[in-house]
Structure formats: structure tokens, C-alpha cells
Amino acid sequence: MSQKKTLSFQAEVAQLLHLVTHSLYSNKEIFLRELISNASDACDKLRFEALHNNALYEDQPNLEVRVSFDRQARTLTIADNGIGLSRDEAIENLGTIAKSGTREFVSRLTGDQKADAQLIGQFGVGFYSGFIVADRIVVESRRAGLPPDEGVRWTSAGAGDFEVESIPRPQRGTSVTLHLREDAGDYLGTWKLKSIISRYSDHISLPILMRKEEWKEGEDNKGGEMVLTDEWETVNQASALWTRARKDITAEQYQELYKQISHDHEPPLAWSHNRVEGATEYTQLLYLPSRAPFDLWNREKAAGVKLYVKRVFIMDEAEALLPSYLRFVKGVVDSSDLPLNVSRELLQESRDVKAIREGCTKRVLAMIEDLAKHEKDEAASEEDKGKFAQFHAEFGAVLKEGLGEDMANRERLAKLLRFASTQSDAVSVSFADYKARMKEGQEAIYYITADTPAAAKNSPQLEVFRKKGIEVLLMTDRVDEWALNFLHEFDGTPLQSVAKGAVDLGKLLDESEKQAAEEAAETFKPVLERLKEALKDKAQDVRVTTRLVDSPACLVVTDSGMSMQLARMLKQAGQKVPDVKPVLEVNAAHPLVKKLEGGEHFDELAHILFDQALLAEGGLPEDPAAYVRRVNALLA
């Protein structure tokens, strides 16, 4: 019945194992953290499945992990009584890489052994990290609910293949036995193992048990030694970290929990841990990561908050707990009120969840505001001062989605945004900074949206603002145009795109300038009419402007219209966009525009003017070849 079978590892696993077994490591001991974390996950899974099927506990309701070693045999065993593995699951889960964490790790491997090895040390590679210290691993397991003769033994030396056979196994759960390498004898000692467990696994909510050691005198008083007894003792704190009081938790412990739940090897930027009491009671432990994940822009991406109910793990990625624009936040919410059998659908409707979501959102915003406060705080350390800028560089753009998504917090969010401007290349100007620098008589916060910082900075629309010394915010995140639709003012001052509507610099223009502009418009009228006629298929209107200084022309849209940039972006994304014709604004004082009056090549010049204005703002002429032909004809 035992049907021994040899199977090959999936190619990525083989690649990973090769690296694990052939490199030097800065941090070998992480293997224990990884195996204990798997054991703990397996117990969480059992507890969750048992909510619907209590029989799965069999006669062992107390979930635990046991770590033991055998000096003679040179083996170290990590055993749990969690959910266990069926034969098929062992083949599937221990022969392929399913989890995104490990896959991402493999994708980051460079082939440079030293760099890769360091990456393993930081990242951990789950189960396979056992091969850092073992030249053979034997896994014995039985899945909860299967009969005692349907156990499985999985064995591998970490090369290209592994063996599986069916075995009888009365006890539920999994034991992982590491046959330690020559140089890994260190791990055959209670003290060493205990210290690793307390460093990495203290926050695990399950008891981790080890055999007690006792001092035994040597015979005839000839030196004694520590010997193992049959008594087991718990060697970790064994209470979920977030259930403890803040003052009893060290920064390292918070960071370890973050690593475990986020699979991020960098420490978090900040965290916030609170017990919320009142109508809805829950504990929240929320982290701001220091780097954006590669799939941050996937709005479907699951949120990073795990839901527990009365310390029972319910689900990963409970997206109902935070709005989508905070999808980068990681952490744990442990509710005292939700039913244990809560489903995703139920979560969407629950009033308690709504309260939790609001509470968590406030908490996250407060955390970010704190980072922002430190930025300007003289007394803060250099490290703390830099944290907000780092946060904003990684997550600022996604935060902007909140302007459209979270009306209740729009003002708080607006205060947290930073932009580049015509006075600052660094993305560091807040609306408040801008307001403080506004010119006498300036009535709006001016901004321009463009595809790139260079396009924004060199846009002809900025010319008059530059001449007058008026700052303009440069917005170049894809989301800006959309997000700013939802923000019409900041602290009482309206926001105005410089590429929308006619410029009204109002009090900023002096009388003589105004008069000159009006006169120019008047004398230019006949040319305008001809321009309108020549460009009637391209431009909604043509008018004389005061916004240009050095450029002959630019394109603008009407106040309510969609900007050209947004229209291009939507088109690229394959969306239907109503065909909006822009308004062409011309600088009547520019030599090229003056040339129009002469009448020669009028149509050709008119089209060149329009296409150049389009190019200048990052667009493309509808018929680029025709544009080139026209320019060449004039150059010739």
C-alpha cells in the first residue's frame, strides 16, 4: 500500500533549492522562523475549518508546536497538530511554488550568488529554507479528518526530486524532520533554539513547546551535563502579539510580526496599535510599509489586513476593513463582536465592519499625519524627518485616489499631498505651502497636469505665470487629473488648472496690460476669423490670449471639458472618449503669428501652429506625416 513514488520539483523550486544548498548565508537561523510560521498557519487553518466541523479536532483540541532534537541522530523536528497535508497536498504544496511571496522572491534572484544569498537571509523562502541547514528533510503528515492510515511521508535531499509514500499516522498534523548538515550542529542545543524562537517567534499565538533540560551530575563527581527530560515547557509568550499591552511589546517584536504577515523584508515605516472600545470593540495593529509592492496599481489587489475574531484567524486580505486607496496598509484587526462564521459577503453588510473601517481609516491617516509632523520637527531624528518624504514617494499617488473615494476625509487627504512646482523640482510643496507663497491679488491655486515633469515644466501655458512670478503646481501622476476633479478648493481657495478655460489673472494684470490685450484682440479679429475657418475640423474656437509670452500658440479646453491629457490617457487605456475639440489660443505678438497676416501659406501655417501646440503639450498631430510635409515645405 505504501506506493513509493519519486517526483521532480517544479523548475522554479529546483532553482531555488540549488541556491539554498549552494550558497553561504548571513542568517542561517531564519529557517526556524519559517518552519514555525508554517506550523502556526497550519493551526490557524485547522481552527478555521473546525468552526464548521468540530470533529476535525479529534481528541486534540489544544493546538501547539513542538520543537525537539536528537543529538545522536543529528535531527531537529518541528511538529504541529494543525491541519496537516494529504498525500496530494504534500505533492502539490511541497513540490511547487504557489504563494506569491516566494514567487516574487524567485523573480528577484539575480544569479549573483552573494546577493541572492543575502536576499534569502532577509526574505525567507518558506519551507525550502529548511535546506539551509539540512541535507535531507522528512515530512510526515496526516490531514485532519482523514483516517489514521492515510498519512504521507515526503522525503527529499533538496536536489532535483522528492519521494512520497503513504504511511499510517495516528496523530493529526505535520512533523518536519531536518537531518542537519555537518556544519549545523549548533541547532542541537536547547539554549540556541530557545534564543532563536524568542527572537523570531515570540509573537506567535500558539504555545511552542520544548523538552525541559536538567542538570545531571557526572558519575563520581566528574563533571555533569544538561540532559533532556520527558517534560515539555512552553518557550514563547504564546499570546497573539496584538492582545498584549503596548508597553510590553518591543519595536523588534512589532517588526517581526510585520515581516510574518507582510512577507516584506524591510522594516515598516510606522505602526499603530490600539484597542478600540465602545459600541464596536476591536483591536487594530496597522503598519505602513516602507516600499510599494510591485502590484500597487492593481486596484483588484487584495488589501493587506488580516481579520481575526476573538483571536481566531478568519481570513487574509479582508478588503472590507479599509478603503481601496489604503490597500498598501498591512496589519491585523481582531474583532470582539463579529460572528466567527462571518463570510466576505457578510462583511460587506455589517455595521460593525463599517465602524471598524472608519476607525482604521482614521488611524492610518493619523499615522501618516504623524510622519508629516516629524518632517518639520526640529527635535526629530534625521531618520524620522525623512520618513514622510519616503512615504509620499511610494504611496502619495495612490493616496490621491482617496480624494474621489473617501469624501469624509477629503480635506485631511488634501493636506497630505505634495507636488512639484515651478519653484520646486522636489515633490515637496503642499497646498498650504503654496497658499503661504501666493502673490498679492492672486485668487486661485494654479496647477497644470501633464504626462511628465518635463512636459509640465515647459508647457507654454505657464509662460505668463512665470513672467508674473506666480507659482504653478506641476502634476504628473496618472491619477492627478481624475483625482483633482474631486477637489475644487483648498482651505477656501479655488483650484484652477492653467490649461482649462480662459486665463483670468484678474487683479494680477495691470491696466495697461489689459488694455494692450484688448487692442491686440481687436486688430487681430480678421485673422482670427480666417484661422477659425482653416482649423474648423480641429479646433472648437480660436482666440487671442494673454497667457503666452514666448510661444506662438497653445491648446486649452473649456472649464468643464476633459483635459487633452486625460482624454489621451483614457484612449490609451482602450476607453471610449467623447471627441473633444480644444480651443487654440494664439499669441498675437509672436512673429510666427504676425506672419499669418501677410496671407502667404495661410492654411499651411495655421495647421502647423495647431500641431505644434499639440506637440508642446505632449500630444501627437492626427496626421504626423502631413505635419512634417508642411514644415519641410516652409523650410525649403
Ligand X SMILES: Nc1ncnc2c1ncn2[C@@H]1O[C@H](COP(=O)(O)OP(=O)(O)OP(=O)(O)O)[C@@H](O)[C@H]1O
Residues binding ligand X (CB under 6 A): 38-39, 42, 80, 82-85, 93-94, 99, 101-102, 126-128, 174, 263
Nearer to ligand X, 127 or 287 (CB): 127
Q: What is the Cα–Cα distance from 453 to 420, expressed in whole angstroms?
A: 8
- Only one residue has cell 505665470, namely 465
Nearer to ligand X, 303 or 508 (CB): 303
Q: In whole angstroms, how close is the CB of 83 to ligand X at the nearest point?
A: 6
Would you say 99 is a known binding-site residue? yes
Strand, helix or coil for residue 177: strand
Would you say 53 is a known binding-site residue? no
Would you say 93 is a known binding-site residue? yes
Nearest residue to ligand X by CB is 126
Nearer to ligand X, 131 or 490 (CB): 131
Nearer to ligand X, 39 or 542 (CB): 39
Would you say 202 is a known binding-site residue? no
Would you say 34 is a known binding-site residue? yes
Q: How many CB atoms lie within 10 A of CB 387?
A: 21
Would you say 122 is a known binding-site residue? yes
The torsion of the CA quartet 490, 494, 497, 500, rounded to 10 degrees, works out to 150
Q: In whole angstroms, how close is the CB of 18 to ligand X at the nearest point?
A: 16
CB 505 within 8 A of CB 574: no
Q: In whole angstroms, how close is the CB of 19 to ligand X at the nearest point?
A: 14
Closest by CA position to 609, among listed 587, 629, 625, 636: 587
Closest by CA position to 132, among listed 35, 67, 12, 36: 35
Q: In whole angstroms, how close is the CB of 139 to ligand X at the nearest point?
A: 8
Q: In whole angstroms, how close is the CB of 284 to ligand X at the nearest point?
A: 23
Would you say 160 is a known binding-site residue? no
The identity of residue 361, as a single letter, is T
DSSP for 183-247, written as a single string: GGGGGS-HHHHHHHHHHHSTT-SS-EEEEEEEEEPPGGG---EEEEEEEEEE-S--S-GGGS-GG
Would you say 80 is a known binding-site residue? yes
Give exposure, 131-145, as e/b (b: 16+ Cβ within 10 Å): bbbbebbbbbbbbbb
Nearer to ligand X, 84 or 582 (CB): 84
Q: What is the Cα–Cα distance from 266 to 30, expressed in whole angstroms?
A: 15
CB 475 within 8 A of CB 500: no
Nearer to ligand X, 94 or 614 (CB): 94
Q: What is the Cα–Cα distance from 185 to 198, expressed in whole angstroms?
A: 20
**Alpha helices (H) in 437-545, listed in sequence order:** 453-457, 463-468, 480-484, 511-534
Nearer to ligand X, 164 or 535 (CB): 164
The identity of residue 556, as a single letter, is V
Q: In whole angstroms, how close is the CB of 80 to ligand X at the nearest point?
A: 5
Q: What is the Cα–Cα distance from 8 to 11, expressed in whole angstroms?
A: 9
CB 359 within 8 A of CB 426: no
Q: In whole angstroms, how close is the CB of 99 to ligand X at the nearest point?
A: 3
Would you say 125 is a known binding-site residue? yes
Nearer to ligand X, 42 or 76 (CB): 42
Q: How far is CA 99 from CA 55, 81, 84, 494, 616, in A?
A: 29, 22, 17, 48, 46
Would you say 124 is a known binding-site residue? yes
Would you say 62 is a known binding-site residue? no
Q: In whole angstroms, how close is the CB of 149 to ligand X at the nearest point?
A: 19
Nearer to ligand X, 102 or 449 (CB): 102
Would you say 100 is a known binding-site residue? yes
Q: In whole angstroms, how close is the CB of 128 to ligand X at the nearest point?
A: 6
Binding residues: 34, 38, 80, 93, 99-101, 122-127, 174, 344
Binding residues for ATP: 34, 38, 80, 93, 99-101, 122-127, 174, 344
